[in-house]
């Protein structure tokens, strides 16, 4: 489904680099269930948040040099239900080694976030889940099956209804809707709201990109998000913000909304 000419230059460069990356030794994983972790967080009254260890990105103004393990542990302490780790080295500053260290240090599911195009690229590092971007994969059904053969839980990322249809045809049960347009790198939360109604109840649905405030969290949850993937708002690439506090602020967004409603009812 790759339509490289329609991609933003930064994204096209990321894909070009991704095509050159090889795989490794075959990987077999006994995964920590990601859907269960998200559902458990919601049951406990926490926003089901996947917090992302992302040192930098093409849309960020800066870079965090913190140890990935310290970042992940702070996110879990802040209430994150799961952790996402970038393993793309050239444009995001990630590495498979960082993911391996994080997964050893935390007891929540860990998602591998990368631009995976071929089956052999799955065989790099053990993770509980892997991101597969529908737009970039030629044989999505085959790659979903290959991920499952290794024990990975494939999270298939889509941006529109056409890509959602491809994900469902590939038997995806974890679907992420990316609010960022990869052609212009613009973010629109309406993207999730347009696609979400088409997603069957059997699918665990994740809202991705552009979620920066408790209000954004509540908006995505109201639109049907079973979980939210948040990186930049937690990492604070332009400064040295408190990652644990940034995580907790979003994790407690539902409680904050309830508190505000209770206060309003008391006043009336």
Is residue 52 flagged as an active site residue?
Answer: yes
Strand, helix or coil at 237?
A: coil
Instruction: Please say whether the beta carbons of 221 and 242 come within 8 A.
Output: no
Tell me if residue 104 is catalytic.
Answer: no
Count CB-CB contacts under 10 A for residue 254. Answer: 18
pLDDT tens digits, 153-164? 999 999 999 999
Return the CATH number of 4-267, one of 3.30.460.10, 3.30.565.10, 3.20.20.70, 3.90.180.10: 3.20.20.70
- Is 179 catalytic? The answer is no
Catalytic residue among 54, 163, 179, 193: 54
Q: Please say if 54 is a catalytic residue.
A: yes
Tokens in use for 168?
């469902």
Q: Give the whole-number percent of the chain exceeding pLDDT 70.
A: 91
Is 265 designated active site? Answer: no
Of 209, 232, 246, 252, the catalytic one is 209
State the average pLDDT over residues 8-17: 92
Q: The whole model's pTM is what?
A: 0.91
| Active-site entry in 57, 84, 95, 178 | 178
Structure tokens, 163? 């890509």
- The full length of the chain comes to 268
How many Cα atoms occupy the beta-carbon half-sphere of 233 within 13 Å?
A: 22
For the segment 21-28, the average pLDDT, to the nearest whole number, is 91
């Amino acid at each position: 489904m790759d339509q490289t000419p329609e991609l933003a230059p930064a994204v096209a460069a990321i894909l070009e680099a991704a095509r050159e990356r090889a795989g490794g030794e075959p990987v077999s994983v006994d995964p920590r269930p990601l859907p269960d972790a998200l559902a458990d967080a919601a049951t406990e009254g926490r926003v089901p948040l996947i917090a992302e260890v992302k040192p930098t990105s093409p849309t960020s103004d800066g870079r965090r040099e913190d140890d990935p393990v310290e970042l992940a542990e702070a996110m879990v302490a802040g209430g994150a239900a799961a952790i996402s780790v970038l393993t793309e080295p050239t444009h995001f500053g990630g590495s498979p080694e960082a993911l391996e260290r994080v997964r050893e240090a935390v007891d929540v599911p860990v998602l591998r976030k990368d631009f995976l195009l071929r089956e052999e690229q799955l065989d790099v590092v053990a993770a509980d889940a892997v991101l597969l971007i529908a737009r970039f994969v030629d044989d999505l059904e085959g790659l979903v099956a290959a991920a499952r053969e290794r024990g990975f839980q494939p999270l298939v990322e889509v941006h529109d209804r056409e890509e959602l249809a491809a994900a469902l045809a590939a038997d995806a049960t974890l679907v992420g809707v990316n609010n960022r347009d990869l052609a212009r790198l613009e973010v629109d939360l309406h993207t999730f709201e347009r696609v979400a109604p088409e997603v069957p109840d059997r699918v665990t649905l994740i809202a991705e990109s552009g979620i920066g405030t408790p209000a954004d969290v509540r908006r995505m949850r109201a639109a049907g998000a079973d979980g939210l993937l948040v990186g930049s708002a937690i990492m604070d690439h332009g400064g040295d913000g408190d990652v644990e506090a940034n995580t907790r602020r979003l994790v407690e967004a539902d409680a904050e909304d309830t508190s505000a409603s209770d206060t309003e009812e008391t006043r009336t």
